[in-house]
Amino acid sequence: MTDPAAVDVLLVEDELFIALDLQETIEDAGFHVVGPCATLVEAEAAIERHAARFAAAVLDVRLADGTVFPAADRLHAAGVPLLFHSGHADDAALRQRYPSATVCPKPSAPDTLANALRRCAERQKAA
């Protein structure tokens, strides 16, 4: 039996239309979306509810209630591949803090994002 977490992707994005576009892209890539979470509080609750078991997480950096870093730290510690999708991301700082993270600037073409997400999920399977 396949682990349901193997297809769950946590989506953290506070801009509604971007979140809906990302959700469609993630689902078209064959994954199930947990979220979208618009705030750090919602993201933390989703991480708790799912015991941080995700194929990957797609994260915006700036949220309505702060930055995503506390949630990203928890996910990273749990071995969840991180894909940052943000217009406010400092690539060098993100790669220093999360060396294995993928960074896709906003906006990214749906195919680019889907392929990056699939690579993240493959790393998770291999781990």
pLDDT at 35: 95
Who's near 87: CB < 8 A, 6+ residues apart?
Answer: 105, 106
Residues of the chain below pLDDT 70: 1-5, 127
**Domains of the chain listed by start with CATH number:** 4-126 (3.40.50.2300)
pTM value is 0.93
The one-character DSSP state at 65 is T
pLDDT at 1: 37
Pull the structure tokens for residue 49.
Answer: 């509810």
Give buried/exposed letters for 38-72 (b at 16+ CB in 10 A, else e).
bbbebbeebbeeeebbbbbbbbbbebeeeebeebb
